[in-house]
């Protein structure tokens, strides 16, 4: 590895974080951990926004990252609310046991 | 030099924490490692000169979302669920596909050439002031819509969390 840290280094970290999050969404059965993996994916997106904001000396990327954070908070609150209602009604938090909508 | 060391430290925190989030069996441990991973991302924001996002990351993600996760884990009592199978049976296929995707993305990123940095539009010194100015002028509508989104989310999650009367429809045995 070279001495100086370039934007590509950050982009590689972001890509790996995205892949780890995707792996978590696909592989876990517990809905709580699936929601955590979605947070990881959104963080990978935020790193990308901030890297390009830095590269182009432009604040817009950080404004977008802030919007992503807002939506992530809303998503977590609503998702966990749905999860609690789901657990109360169905008694499970495993994604593949919830097959009411499956054909 | 110190920047390089800090970058690798925060990258290790981010990726190692994330890997542990998706591989721990216990959801509580996953939430704790999620804190580590989010702290690493916050450190990367700081290295990139985004001080406001660094603070927002710590307050919103670590203070808000992770707390919410831990709270829900306590509420839903995952002890019983922790004894069940936590991973899908097809996990080797998914792992292989993920490794392939990661290799492809990293290869493309290392091979590709980033376009040269554009001339500066606005000064990034005084990051919080610049971000505030942009949010309240150019993105004012988006900023106000974000508050509506948050309001709807609050009302919606409170409404969904309430127990209601007619919930005896199709309660399965388990």
CATH number of the domain that residue B77 is part of = 1.20.120.1200
In chain B, how many domains are there?
2
Domain extent at residue B60:
1-83
Restricting to A residues 79-98, those with a Cβ less than 8 Å away from any Cβ of B are: 80-85, 87-94, 96-97
Asked if residue B170 is part of any domain, the answer here is: no
Q: pLDDT of A59-75, one tens digit each?
A: 888 999 999 999 999 99
Residue B85 and residue B95: Cα distance in Å, rounded?
17
The pair phi, psi for residue B146, each rounded to 5°, is -60, -40
Which residues does chain B have within 8 Å of residue A29's beta carbon, measured at their own beta carbons?
84-88
Q: Please give the average per-residue pLDDT across A3-16, as a whole number.
A: 87
Which residues does chain A have within 8 Å of residue B44's beta carbon, measured at their own beta carbons?
10, 13, 47, 50
| Residue B131 buriedness (CB in 10 A; 0-12 / 13-18 / 19+) | buried
B75: contact with A, CB 8 A cutoff? yes
Query: How many CB pairs below 8 Å do chains A and B form together?
Result: 254
Residue A40 and residue B9: Cα distance in Å, rounded?
18
Write down the pLDDT at residue A7.
86
Write down the pLDDT at residue A19.
96
Which residues does chain B have within 8 Å of residue A51's beta carbon, measured at their own beta carbons?
48
H or E segment at B160?
helix B140-161
Write down the pLDDT at residue B145.
93
Residue A17 and residue A33: Cα distance in Å, rounded?
15
Same domain, B2 and B73: yes
Asked if residue B51 is part of any domain, the answer here is: yes
Write down the pLDDT at residue B78.
65
Q: Which residues of B29-50 are buried (b: 16+ CB within 10 A; e: fewer)?
A: ebbbbbbbbbbbbbbbbbbbbb
Q: Are B46 and B54 in contact (CB under 8 A)?
A: yes
Q: Which domains does chain A have, with CATH numbers?
A: 30-90 (1.10.287.3510)
Which residues does chain A have within 8 Å of residue B16's beta carbon, measured at their own beta carbons?
none
Rg (CA), chain A: 17
Write down the pLDDT at residue A54.
87
Which regions of chain B are under pLDDT 50? Answer: none
């Amino acid at each position: 590895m070279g001495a100086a840290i370039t934007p590509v280094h950050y982009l590689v970290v972001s890509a790996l974080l995205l892949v780890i999050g995707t792996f978590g969404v696909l592989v876990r059965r517990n809905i709580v951990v699936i929601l955590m993996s979605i947070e990881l994916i959104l963080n990978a997106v935020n790193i990308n926004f901030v890297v390009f904001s830095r590269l182009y000396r432009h604040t817009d990327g950080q404004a977008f990252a802030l919007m992503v954070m807002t939506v992530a908070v809303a998503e977590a609150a609503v998702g966990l609310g749905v999860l609690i209602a789901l657990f109360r009604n169905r008694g499970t938090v495993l994604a593949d046991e919830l097959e009411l909508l499956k054909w | 030099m110190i920047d390089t060391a800090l970058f690798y430290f925060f990258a290790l925190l981010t990726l190692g924490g994330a890997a542990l989030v998706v591989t721990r069996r216990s959801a509580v441990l996953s939430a704790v490692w999620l804190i580590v991973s989010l702290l690493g991302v916050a450190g990367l924001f700081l290295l990139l000169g985004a001080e406001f996002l660094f603070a927002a990351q710590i307050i919103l993600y670590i203070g808000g979302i992770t707390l919410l996760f831990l709270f829900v884990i306590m509420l839903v009592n995952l002890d019983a669920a922790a004894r069940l199978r936590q991973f899908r049976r097809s996990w080797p296929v998914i792992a292989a596909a993920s490794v392939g995707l990661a290799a492809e993305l990293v290869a493309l990123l290392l091979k590709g050439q980033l376009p040269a940095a554009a001339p500066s539009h606005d000064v990034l010194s005084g990051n919080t002031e610049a971000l505030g100015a942009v949010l309240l002028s150019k993105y004012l509508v988006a900023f106000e819509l974000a508050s509506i989104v948050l309001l709807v989310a609050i009302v919606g999650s409170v409404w969904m969390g309430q127990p209601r009367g007619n919930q005896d429809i199709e309660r399965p045995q388990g």
